[in-house]
């Protein structure tokens, strides 16, 4: 609307404030279903229990991640997380590129650390080195074999315990995907074609933070740029 019309539109904050005010006034929690994530309260709510961070071999804190990954100006820095579902054993492994907001995802058969690492490698290895610089996780044990990815030139980092906001890109992406794949979804009923259509829909949605371009447009631009750059370099010797 802002790009096409250039006029005044209702901000998302106004919509949120109205709905939460109605919940507080009427005590009618059905209002929450008008929101993308259907939360009755705003904010993140932590879970009890200790963090497995101390059990992850070769774990490197996000504090040591380079500054070039923090400002989103440079491509090639990714975040990963698992998107869980109500049916036991069903998960989507999602990858989010910080610069373009591009999303890749797959459906692993389980969340054992070795299988998750191999899925991550199969998604990222085909990319040019300039688009696979670093990968940031939370402290889930499913990412315990992260160091296998060092073989393809990826640096790996972990958020501080109970700090999901440190990988806010993938958290936001999963929240958006929940509109298409709610937690109650049975993944066995979703064909691969339909699953990929959901990912394409995400990547082809214009984003305000990208000046109303789409993640697909931006990642393709970077791919073409690096491809042209590599073919124009003089051969060694």
Residue 59: pLDDT band (50, 70, 90) is very high
Domain, as residue range, for 221: 56-232
Q: Give residue 16's pLDDT.
A: 84
Tens digit of each residue's pLDDT (9 = 90 or more) over 8-49: 677 778 888 888 888 888 888 788 788 877 776 766 555 555
Looking at the fold, whether 26 and 143 belong to one and the same domain comes out as no
Torsion 60-61-62-67 (CA) sign:
negative
pTM: 0.77
Within-domain flag for 143: yes
User: Using N-to-C axis directions, what is the helix angle for 192-203 and 168-177, rounded to 10°?
Assistant: 120
Looking at the fold, whether 30 and 116 belong to one and the same domain comes out as no
Assess whether pLDDT exceeds 70 at residue 57: yes
Q: Give residue 104's pLDDT.
A: 98
Tens digit of each residue's pLDDT (9 = 90 or more) over 75-91: 999 999 999 999 999 99
Burial of residue 230, with CB atoms counted within 10 A of its CB: 0-12 exposed, 13-18 middle, 19 or more buried: exposed
* Mean pLDDT for all residues in the chain: 89
Within-domain flag for 1: no
Q: Give residue 225's pLDDT.
A: 84
Looking at the fold, whether 185 and 108 belong to one and the same domain comes out as yes
Torsion 206-211-217-220 (CA) sign:
negative
Within-domain flag for 46: no
Looking at the fold, whether 31 and 62 belong to one and the same domain comes out as no
Q: Give residue 103's pLDDT.
A: 98
Looking at the fold, whether 32 and 123 belong to one and the same domain comes out as no
Mean per-residue pLDDT, 63-79 = 93
Tens digit of each residue's pLDDT (9 = 90 or more) over 147-190: 999 999 999 999 999 898 999 999 999 999 999 999 999 999 99
Query: Based on the structure, what is the number of domains in the chain?
Result: 2
CB atoms within 10 A of CB 95: 20
Looking at the fold, whether 36 and 63 belong to one and the same domain comes out as no
Let me know: does 135 contact 156? Beta carbons within 8 Å. yes
């Amino acid at each position: 609307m802002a790009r096409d019309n250039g006029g005044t539109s209702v901000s998302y904050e106004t919509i949120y404030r109205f709905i939460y005010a109605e919940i507080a006034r009427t005590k009618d929690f059905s209002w929450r279903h008008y929101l993308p994530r259907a939360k009755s309260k705003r904010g993140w709510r932590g879970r009890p229990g200790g963090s497995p961070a101390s059990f992850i071999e070769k774990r490197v804190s996000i504090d040591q991640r380079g500054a070039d990954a923090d400002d989103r100006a440079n491509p090639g820095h990714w975040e990963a997380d698992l998107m869980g579902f109500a049916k036991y054993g069903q998960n989507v492994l999602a990858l989010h590129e910080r610069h373009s907001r591009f999303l890749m995802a797959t459906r692993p058969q389980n969340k054992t650390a070795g299988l998750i690492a191999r899925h991550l490698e199969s998604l990222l290895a085909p990319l040019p080195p300039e688009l696979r610089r670093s990968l940031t996780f939370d402290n889930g044990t499913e990412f315990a074999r992260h160091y296998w990815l060092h073989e393809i030139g990826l640096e790996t980092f972990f958020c501080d315990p109970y700090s999901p906001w440190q990988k806010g890109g993938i958290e936001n992406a999963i929240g958006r995907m929940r509109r298409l794949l709610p937690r109650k979804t049975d993944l066995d009923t979703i064909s691969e074609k339909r699953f990929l259509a959901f990912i394409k829909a995400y990547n082809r949605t214009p984003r305000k933070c990208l000046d109303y371009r789409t993640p697909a447009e931006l990642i393709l631009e970077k791919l073409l740029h690096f491809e042209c750059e590599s073919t124009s370099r003089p051969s060694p010797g």
